[in-house]
Amino acid sequence: MSAVEPDDPETLLAQAVRLRESGRREEAREQLLALRARFPEDARVAFQTAWVHDVLGLEADAVPHYVDALAGAGLSAEDRRGAMLGLGSTYRTLGRHADAVATLSGATVEFPEDNALKTFLAMALYNVGRAHDGMRMLLTVLAATSADPDIVGYRPAIEYYARDLDAVEGGGSADGSE
């Protein structure tokens, strides 16, 4: 076996992630904070540091790490998506609803097929008084993704009402027929 280079950020980051994944979150947080101090420009370290703060319920402490992760270079598309979802959700949890809407709206533009982002955006829209827009978004996601036979049978009606929640006639019936 070869010795692990103690200054290798890849190895150190992987160790910290394993700690978080195995439930040793506080140890992971300590290691990640130390890594942030050593590698302050590393977006991957910033993202993992934000994540561990979130899972520990330290949402306010997670925000600057998410912001740094998204401002930096080096995140994979999946990690970028996760950082945007994490930051938007964290803003919402902290009552920063307008920031949540802005972050999650940008994320849904960047990742238009991601229904988790749309779902969290719908919640944030509700929080800023845009319940109509949030409901429309949730109905669209539900119609597009549900395999539940009770939903599938009404998909045309759900899709119609997602486009026009205030409709009472003309676009489709409650049983899904036209």
Task: Name which of 12, 89, 2, 101 is nearest 48 in CA terms.
Answer: 12
> What is the pLDDT, as a whole number, of residue 134?
97
Counting residues of the chain whose pLDDT is more than 90, the rounded percentage is 83
Asked if the domains at 1-75 and 100-178 fall in one CATH topology, the answer is: yes
1-75, superfamily in CATH?
Answer: Tetratricopeptide repeat domain (1.25.40.10)
> What is the pLDDT, as a whole number, of residue 126?
97
Task: Name which of 56, 43, 127, 49 is nearest 88 in CA terms.
Answer: 127
Find the mean pLDDT for residues 64-73: 96
> What is the pLDDT, as a whole number, of residue 10?
86
Find the mean pLDDT for residues 64-88: 97
> What is the pLDDT, as a whole number, of residue 170?
52
Per-residue pLDDT reduced to its tens digit, 152-170: 999 999 999 999 888 776 5
By mean pLDDT, which of 36-45, 89-98, 161-170 is the weakest?
161-170
Q: Does pLDDT of 64 surpass 50?
A: yes
Find the mean pLDDT for residues 83-107: 98
> What is the pLDDT, as a whole number, of residue 144?
95
Q: Following CA atoms 102, 121, 17, 20 in sequence, which dihedral angle do they give, to the nearest 10 degrees?
A: 120
More confident residue, 73 or 177: 73
> What is the pLDDT, as a whole number, of residue 2?
43
Q: What is the residue-wise DSSP string for the chain?
A: -PPPPTT-HHHHHHHHHHHHHTT-HHHHHHHHHHHHHH-TT-HHHHHHHHHHHHHTT-HHHHHHHHHHHHHSS---HHHHHHHHHHHHHHHHHTT-HHHHHHHHHHHHHHSTT-HHHHHHHHHHHHHTT-HHHHHHHHHHHHHHH---HHHHTTHHHHHHHHH-TT--SSS--TTS--
Q: Where are the domains of the chain?
A: 1-75, 100-178
> What is the pLDDT, as a whole number, of residue 122?
98
CATH 3.40.50.1370 fits domain 100-178: no
